[in-house]
């Protein structure tokens, strides 16, 4: 290598570019927005509703993500619809969640603190649920919003958004066990759905995994 080649300048420039992603992800709100977008495209208004932020704040965070090429957008009429810039970003996010839980004991504590409030809620693995579905002995509910179900779901699952679960219970057979999943290991909706089903006399289980984990499971088979 030519000793006149500016190695230090090259390294400084390279890691400065890498740091752009790190700085972009240093906001808990932006991480939440990306997690929501990993479930499917959403308008700014939908993201504001889901995160309980103002449209202005959501737009500001999305602009930062856009500048780092982590999200992209399209127009549908008067709405601006955002999504992740590519499937590799969803993989990166899930790797981040897993690494964080391994390295930070507080994450496990936060999860366990929540689940301890749902002491009657039992969890089945996705593999167990899929086997029971193949046997016809279990019903799987997807309790995410309908647009997320349409963007991608576990085959055989039935879309029952949380706000519709009481109405849907009327058509469910009480003799058949039910499992519910939502947005993955850090989503609370599945546990809430199971509690509601149990109060009405159903045998119900929480599934910790979501659509991403199902895709990974399928890829390994």
| 108 DSSP assignment | H
Q: Which residue has the tokens 């546990």?
A: 191
Distance CA 143, CA 166 (A): 12
> What gap in Å lies between CA 116 and CA 112, rounded to an integer?
6
Rounded to whole angstroms, the Cα distance separating 51 from 218 reads 31
Domain that includes residue 33, residue range: 7-90
Residue 102 lies in a domain: no
Q: Give me the pLDDT at residue 172, please.
A: 87
The residue out of 58, 90, 122 marking a domain boundary is: 90
User: So what's the pLDDT on residue 111?
Assistant: 85
Assigned domain for 1 exists: no
Neighbours of 153 (CB within 10 A): 19
Whether 131 is catalytic is no
Residue 118 and residue 18 share a domain:
no
| In-domain check, residue 101 | no
Query: Is 129 in the same domain as 165?
Result: yes
Q: Are 179 and 207 in contact (CB under 8 A)?
A: yes
97 belongs to a structural domain? no
CATH classification of the domain holding 85: 1.10.10.10
Whether 44 is covered by a domain: the verdict is: yes
Same domain, 81 and 120: no
Can you name the residues that pair with 79 across neighbouring β-strands? 76
Q: Do 56 and 123 sit in the same domain of this protein?
A: no
Residues 66, 128 within the same domain:
no
Under 8 Å between Cβ of 43 and 33: no
- Backbone φ and ψ for 93, nearest 5 degrees, come out as -60, -45
- Same-domain pairing of 199 and 120: yes
Q: Give me the catalytic one of 24, 83, 118, 182.
A: 182
- The domain boundary, picked from 60, 90, 120, lies at 90
If asked whether residues 57 and 135 sit together in one domain, one would say no
Same domain, 85 and 170: no
Residue 135 domain-assigned (yes or no) = yes
Q: Are residues 13 and 58 in the same domain?
A: yes
E-strand stretches of 87-150? 123-124, 139-142
State how far the Cα of 127 lies from the Cα of 164, in Å rounded to an integer: 26
Task: Say if residue 128 is in the same domain as residue 206.
Answer: yes
Q: What is the CATH number of the domain that holds 199?
A: 3.40.250.10
Structural domains of the chain, count:
2
> Which residue positions in the chain have pLDDT lower than 50?
none
- The beta-strand segments (E) located in 50-152 are 71-76, 79-84, 123-124, 139-142
CA-based radius of gyration for the chain: 20
Measuring CA to CA, how many Å separate 80 from each of 22, 44, 187? 26, 7, 26
Token digits for 110?
Answer: 């936060």
Q: How confident is the model at residue 34, as a pLDDT?
A: 98
Instruction: Choose the final residue of a domain: 29, 57, 90.
Output: 90
């Amino acid at each position: 290598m030519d000793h006149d080649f500016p190695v230090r300048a090259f390294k400084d420039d390279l890691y400065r570019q890498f740091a752009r992603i790190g700085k972009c992800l240093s906001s808990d709100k932006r991480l939440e927005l990306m997690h929501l977008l990993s479930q499917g495209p959403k308008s700014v208004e939908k993201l504001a509703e889901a995160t309980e932020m103002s449209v202005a704040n959501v737009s500001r965070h999305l602009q930062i993500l856009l500048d780092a090429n982590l999200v992209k957008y399209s127009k549908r009429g008067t709405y601006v619809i955002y999504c992740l810039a590519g499937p590799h970003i969803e993989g990166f996010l899930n790797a981040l969640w897993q690494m964080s839980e391994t390295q930070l004991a507080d994450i496990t504590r936060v999860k366990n603190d929540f689940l301890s409030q749902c002491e009657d809620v039992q969890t089945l693995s996705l593999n167990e649920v899929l086997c029971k579905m193949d046997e016809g002995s279990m019903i799987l509910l997807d309790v995410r919003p309908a647009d997320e179900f349409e963007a991608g779901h576990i085959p055989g699952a039935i879309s029952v958004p949380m706000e519709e679960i009481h109405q849907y219970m009327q058509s469910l057979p009480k003799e058949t066990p039910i499992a519910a999943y939502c947005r993955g290991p850090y989503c609370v909706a599945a546990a809430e759905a199971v509690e509601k089903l149990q109060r009405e006399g159903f045998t119900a289980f929480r599934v910790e995994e979501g659509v991403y984990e199902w895709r990974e499971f399928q890829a390994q088979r």
